[in-house]
Amino acid sequence: MTFREDGAAALDWAASYLERVGDYPVLAQVEPGEIRSRLPASPPETGEAFADVLRDLDAILLPGITHWQSPRFFAYFSVSASEPGILAELLAATLNSVAFLWRTSPASTELESLTLDWTAQLLGLPQGWHGHIEDTASTSTLAALAAARETTGRNVVVCSEHAHSSVDKAARLLGLDLRKIAGDAEFRLRPDELDLADAAAVVATVGTTSTASVDPVPAIADACAAAGAWLHVDAAYAGSAWVCPELRWSQRGVERADSLVVNAHKWLFTPMDCSLLWSSRPDDLRRAFSLVPEYLRTSDEADSLSDYGPALGRRFRSLKLWAVLRCYGREGLQARIREAVRLAELFEGWVRDEPGWEVCAARHFSLVCFRREGSDADNEALVERVNRSGELFLSHTRLDGRYVLRLAVGNERTTEDDVRRAWEALQKV
């Protein structure tokens, strides 16, 4: 078979998958080890046909796939790999650029800078920030905190108890002491609790993982400015919402950040992985990372984006972001974000109006935190049962010591009917 024929079969598989994805049980209905036990323990001696790979993807792997593309995936933060993004990944893999120096991929390097500038315009960020792409927010936050350590010479990082675990991971890697501050009644960092005398950085979150709460960035920025601490804003999920002017209330103060992460692979319809990191202090970021051994020295006077983060080799990730921004345009992005928020609002209303159910946190953006009357164990059992049903996939968190369910709308295929089905399934079990 040729690439064209195998490719047509792969494309047909992909198209059929996307057409049927709403029909599959959302959470994979398998036990640990089950998928692996159905595959040969050793690789083949001689080559097989690509058709065999496709056949086994269908027959063996598919039951072990949790369908992130399902319109009833409501766990964590739900995401979408849009069609332009998927096809751009095919193109990026074909080109196989490794963009560690400008000259090893001028188009990738320059398109990366351009698409980050485009996105900054769409989100209403300050002009002139330096942007580049990392794999995940874990890496973006790691890079930002490395720059903060390098720049301030200090060893403490401060965040709220509701900040993402990636802050813990980055602090541990960098050998920074992490100081967590208790949140207020609405799960926000309390700026009056900030004591930044020895702080290298504060991580403020716009859209926390548990409740999508929004830290008071303006007051945090004041405290950082007074103490000479780096302000890193984690808007991995909620930052995409800024494409809609009516959601920019959550952006106040962000213009004063030293660095900002927004994950395009979360709510900007771009396939994993595509984490956008901007900095208003790119020289400090570069100082933390730049290393030029002889075998990478060139006479080019151009920026190399590997100088701004931990990895040297870099994929052509901007191609998919470019494809999404072009094929959706500002209006297309706004329409999708607004629809997700509308559906979450609708669900929130149903929960609020139903006796025996409770909304547990102010709804921000497209995430609803709620629970049923009863014990934590009852609610935990409820989540496990609906997830096992395959009808939808939810996750949970713990707020003020109580077990709480989370429903996050974000997949672009999710319709009102999907949210209604989810609500009915929850009431039934």
Binders in 105-144 for a copy of itself, by CB under 8 A:
105-108, 110-111, 113-114, 117-119, 121-122, 135-139, 142
The binding track of 63-82 with respect to a copy of itself, each residue x by CB under 8 A or -, is xxxxxxx-----xx--xxx-
Residue (42 or 197) nearer to a copy of itself, CB: 42
Give the Cα separation of 296 and 325 in Å (integer). 33
Among 258, 357, 406, 418, binds a copy of itself (CB under 8 A): 406
Residue (14 or 227) nearer to a copy of itself, CB: 14
Give the Cα separation of 177 and 166 in Å (integer). 14
Among 74, 94, 126, 216, binds a copy of itself (CB under 8 A): 94
**Smallest distance, Å, CB 72 to a copy of itself?**
15
Q: Which of residues 290-319 bind a copy of itself (CB under 8 A)?
A: 291-296, 299-302, 310-313, 315, 319
> How many residues in the chain?
429
Helices (H) and strands (E) in the chain, counts: 13, 11
Give every CB contact of residue 287 below 8 A, 6+ residues apart in sequence.
Answer: 147, 150, 151
Q: Which of residues 6-65 bind a copy of itself (CB under 8 A)?
A: 6-8, 10-15, 17-18, 27-28, 30, 32-36, 39, 41-50, 52-53, 57, 61-65
**Smallest distance, Å, CB 252 to a copy of itself?**
24
Amino acid at 359: V
Give every CB contact of residue 340 below 8 A, 6+ residues apart in sequence.
Answer: 267, 365, 366, 409, 410, 414
Matching residue, tokens 């059992």: 381
**Smallest distance, Å, CB 216 to a copy of itself?**
22
Amino acid at 199: A
Residue (37 or 197) nearer to a copy of itself, CB: 37
The binding track of 345-384 with respect to a copy of itself, each residue x by CB under 8 A or -, is ---------------------------------------x
Give the Cα separation of 205 and 274 in Å (integer). 19
Query: In this structure, how many other beta carbons lie within 10 angstroms of the beta carbon of residue 282?
Result: 19
**Smallest distance, Å, CB 416 to a copy of itself?**
22
Of 186-194, 325-333, 354-362, 371-379: span binding a copy of itself (CB under 8 A): 325-333
**Given strand 402-408, what is the order of strands in its sheet?**
357-359, 367-372, 402-408, 395-399
Among 103, 352, 385, 428, binds a copy of itself (CB under 8 A): 103
Give the Cα separation of 304 and 290 in Å (integer). 9
According to DSSP, residue 176 is labeled -
Give the Cα separation of 360 and 369 in Å (integer). 5
Residue (312 or 359) nearer to a copy of itself, CB: 312
Residue (73 or 221) nearer to a copy of itself, CB: 73
| Residue 363 to residues 246, 303, 348, 370, Cα–Cα distance (Å) | 15, 41, 8, 10
Amino acid at 326: R
Give the Cα separation of 30 and 66 in Å (integer). 10
**Smallest distance, Å, CB 194 to a copy of itself?**
22
Q: Which of residues 386-405 bind a copy of itself (CB under 8 A)?
A: 395-398
Of 102-110, 185-193, 197-205, 354-362: span binding a copy of itself (CB under 8 A): 102-110
* CB-based contact 230:258 (threshold 8 Å): yes
Residue (80 or 280) nearer to a copy of itself, CB: 80
**Smallest distance, Å, CB 418 to a copy of itself?**
17
Q: With binding defined as CB under 8 A, does residue 339 bind a copy of itself?
A: no
Give the Cα separation of 14 and 10 in Å (integer). 6
Q: Which of residues 204-233 bind a copy of itself (CB under 8 A)?
A: 209-210
Give every CB contact of residue 184 below 8 A, 6+ residues apart in sequence.
Answer: 190
Residue (22 or 253) nearer to a copy of itself, CB: 22
Q: With binding defined as CB under 8 A, does residue 91 bind a copy of itself?
A: yes
Query: In this structure, how many other beta carbons lie within 10 angstroms of the beta carbon of residue 247?
Result: 18
